């Protein structure tokens, strides 16, 4: 118990609670109005998506372009369940069903495709993502291309709670023996296997955890934005998520969080200049890639222990 | 007692016979050398024994708790779990990880908590992590890298990277250690230190060591027995004195006398 509440973990807990209090005070004071609340919600969903994709691409080194497919599964499971049972219980059941379906689909996708490497894997997962979308497009229960119209199910505290839960699951996984095994697969698969690590198993693990969390993000999307359509979950959506991961730095979870926030704010700021929006967005991305080719944080993490060490060193230098 | 027994081992790559009909026996706590000219099939033989390649024919048997078990064709991670560890000819460290993490990763199979315990941060997780941290630090002390435990592996000088590879192999708690050209690229002083280190870990960890090496000063000083491979075939086998004077070995290395 003592170790769980060391000073660095306490710093994290405090900053979690702090940002929650700050956001909800700003909301109730009306400084974050309903327009900006949508921005906040989008950012929360994007953080979940980016960190879960980072687990697959940045940590385990498996280049997946099918993330929107898993988001689609989550969104539609929640959506269909809410249609049958328009209550919070229905929504929660929907999340659960989405999690189960996406875990099974991820396993089916992972076992044959994770033998592939690099661009081959990217193409294979891209194909699977599109298959999921086409299946949804042609099913009766999902109402085809017209999509589903849903009531708004979620409020800010619930969303924030889910975000924190997802982040804790991902970060605890990365900072443990299974997480180290995933990193070793990224670093050198041959050496990793020679050190007694079942590389296939950990690739599949990471892929499933990433997919399940993406489906939760999809459900959050369905519970917030009233309408879901298959066209929202195309290949473009996967690329959007990938951009956030690369922007923040592959392998850096805090990088993904920061990238999702920055890109979310940039997007909403540029909404006012809609004619030049995509141009400025594109230039911003190109600049990042020129000046920080490995993303905002590279593979480093923002940590309180890092800051602590930095301050200690500064003090020693002064002495 | 044999710890590893190889009989009639053959590996063909298409029409090329890289290893042909090799018979070897490794006894407990022996230090064996495997030498031969470039392209003789030494690394291929290592790859066969550690499960990277599947043998075309022949048998590899490993002593697991007193019973001989066939390991030919098993996956490398299974073979490693049975007590067979290796280093690589071209260093294959986890480059962007710290020295300590490199060793911790290799301790994977001995860590007794699962993914669920890790995510929920159960007390078991903390207890095991503490043990792993301690054991990894002890191993780094053995190879004199404890001071550099927080440095990234890629920033270490070449000789230290080689030593880290050995520490990482030891972290899998092996019974047999395969070293693929451990002294490649080292200067004479570094080679002498390495010779001492290999001898020390063999004694301290009760290991059987088999090493591929071109540096004859190292091979002749520490190896108890030597196998010589040429064009995929074993051409000689014996103690260092016998090998030095074996006409077939001299021929393989220096060419035929005219």
pLDDT per residue over B219-243, tens digit each?
A: 888 899 999 998 889 988 988 888 8
Shortest Cα distance, chain B CAs vs residue A141, angstroms: 34
CB of A252 less than 8 A from some CB of B: no
B85–A194 C-beta distance less than 8 A: yes
pTM of this structure: 0.90
Nearest CB to B101; choose among A180, A188, A196 = A180
Instruction: Write down how long chain B is.
Output: 258
Model pLDDT, residue B31: 92
State which residue of chain A sits closest to B106, comparing Cα positions: A195
Q: In whole angstroms, what is the distance from residue A247 CA to residue A294 CA?
A: 8
State which residue of chain A sits closest to B154, comparing Cα positions: A187
Model pLDDT, residue A86: 86
Model pLDDT, residue B76: 92
Model pLDDT, residue B217: 83
Question: Shortest CA distance to A243 belongs to which of A208, A295, A280, A279?
Answer: A295
Model pLDDT, residue A300: 79
Instruction: Give how far Cα A244 sits from Cα of A45, A46, A168, A195, Å.
Output: 12, 8, 19, 33
Burial B67-84, CB ≥16 within 10 A → b, else e: eeeebbebbbbebbbbbb
Question: Shortest CA distance to B190 belongs to which of B157, B147, B167, B237?
Answer: B157
Q: In whole angstroms, what is the distance from residue A67 CA to residue A59 CA?
A: 15
**Are the beta carbons of B53 and B11 closer than 8 angstroms?**
yes
State which residue of chain A sits closest to B96, comparing Cα positions: A187
pLDDT tens by residue, chain B, 258 residues: 788 999 999 999 988 889 999 999 998 889 999 998 888 888 899 999 998 899 999 999 998 888 888 888 889 999 999 999 999 989 999 999 999 999 999 999 888 888 888 888 888 889 999 999 999 999 999 999 999 989 999 999 988 999 999 999 999 999 999 999 998 888 888 888 899 999 999 999 999 999 998 888 888 888 999 999 988 899 889 888 888 888 888 888 777 655
Q: Which two tokens stand for residue B115?
A: 């993914």
Nearest CB to A177; choose among B50, B85, B108 = B108
Residue A58's CB is within 10 A of a number of other CB atoms, namely 27
What are the residues of chain B with a beta carbon less than 8 Å away from any beta carbon of chain A? Answer: 50, 52, 75-77, 80-81, 85-86, 88, 92-97, 101, 104-106, 108-109, 111, 113-115, 118-121, 123, 125-126, 128-129, 132, 168-169, 171-172
**Are the beta carbons of A222 and A143 closer than 8 angstroms?**
no
ipTM: 0.90
pLDDT tens by residue, chain A, 319 residues: 556 667 778 888 888 899 999 998 988 888 888 888 889 999 999 999 999 999 999 999 999 999 999 999 999 999 999 998 888 899 999 999 999 999 999 999 888 887 777 788 888 899 999 999 999 999 888 888 888 888 888 888 999 999 999 999 999 999 999 999 999 999 999 999 999 999 999 999 999 999 999 999 999 999 998 899 999 999 889 998 999 999 888 889 999 999 999 989 988 888 888 788 788 878 888 888 888 888 888 777 887 777 878 888 888 777 7
A205–B115 C-beta distance less than 8 A: yes
Q: How many CB pairs under 8 A join A and B?
A: 98
């Amino acid at each position: 118990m003592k170790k769980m509440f060391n000073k660095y973990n306490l710093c994290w807990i405090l900053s979690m609670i702090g940002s929650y209090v700050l956001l909800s005070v700003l909301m109730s004071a009306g400084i974050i109005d309903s327009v900006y609340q949508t921005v906040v919600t989008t950012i929360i969903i994007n953080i979940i998506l980016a960190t879960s994709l980072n687990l697959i691409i940045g940590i385990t080194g498996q280049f997946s372009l099918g993330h929107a497919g898993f988001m689609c599964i989550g969104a539609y499971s929640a959506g269909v369940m809410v249609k049958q049972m328009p209550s919070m219980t229905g929504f929660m059941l929907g999340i659960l069903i989405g999690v189960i379906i996406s875990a099974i689909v991820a396993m089916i996708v992972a076992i044959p495709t994770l033998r592939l490497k690099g661009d081959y894997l990217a193409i294979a997962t891209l194909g699977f993502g599109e298959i999921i979308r086409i299946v949804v497009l042609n099913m009766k229960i999902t109402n085809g291309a017209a999509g589903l119209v849903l009531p708004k199910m979620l409020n800010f505290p619930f969303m924030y709670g889910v975000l924190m839960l997802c982040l804790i699951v991902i970060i605890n996984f990365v900072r443990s023996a299974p997480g180290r095994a995933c990193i070793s697969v990224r670093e050198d698969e041959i050496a990793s296997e020679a050190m007694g690590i079942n590389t296939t198993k950990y690739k599949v693990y990471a892929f499933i955890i990433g997919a399940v969390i993406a489906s939760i993000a999809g459900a959050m999307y369905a519970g917030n934005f009233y309408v879901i359509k298959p066209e929202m979950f195309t290949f473009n959506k996967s690329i959007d998520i990938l951009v956030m991961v690369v922007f923040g730095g592959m392998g850096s979870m805090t990088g993904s969080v920061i990238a999702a926030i920055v890109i979310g704010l940039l997007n909403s700021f540029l909404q006012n200049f809609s004619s030049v929006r995509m141009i400025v967005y594109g230039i911003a991305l190109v600049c990042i890639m020129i000046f920080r080719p490995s993303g905002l944080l590279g593979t480093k993490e923002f940590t309180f222990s890092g800051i602590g060490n930095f301050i200690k060193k500064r003090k020693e230098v002064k002495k | 007692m044999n710890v590893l027994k190889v009989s009639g081992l053959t590996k063909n790559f298409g029409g090329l016979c890289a290893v042909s009909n090799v018979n070897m026996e490794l006894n407990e706590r022996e230090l064996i050398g495997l030498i031969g000219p470039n392209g003789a099939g030494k690394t291929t033989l290592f790859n066969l024994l550690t499960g990277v390649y599947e043998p075309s024919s022949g048998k590899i048997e490993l002593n697991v708790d007193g019973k001989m078990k066939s390991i030919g064709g098993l996956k490398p991670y299974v073979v490693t779990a049975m007590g067979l560890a290796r280093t690589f000819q071209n260093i294959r460290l986890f480059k962007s990880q710290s020295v300590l993490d490199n060793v911790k990763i290799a301790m994977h199979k001995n860590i007794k908590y699962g993914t669920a315990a890790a995510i929920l941060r159960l007390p078991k997780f903390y207890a095991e992590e503490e043990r792993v941290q301690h054991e990894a630090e002890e191993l780094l002390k053995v190879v004199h890298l404890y001071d550099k435990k927080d440095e990234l592996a890629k920033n270490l000088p070449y000789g230290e990277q080689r030593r880290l590879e050995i520490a990482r192999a030891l972290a899998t708690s092996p019974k047999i250690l395969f070293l693929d050209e451990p002294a490649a690229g080292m200067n004479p002083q570094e080679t002498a230190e390495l010779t001492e280190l290999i001898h020390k870990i063999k004694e301290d960890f009760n290991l059987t060591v088999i090493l591929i090496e071109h540096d004859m000063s190292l091979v002749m000083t520490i190896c108890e027995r030597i196998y010589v491979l040429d064009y995929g075939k074993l051409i000689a086998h014996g103690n260092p004195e016998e090998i030095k004077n074996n006409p077939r070995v001299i021929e393989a290395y220096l060419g035929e006398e005219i």
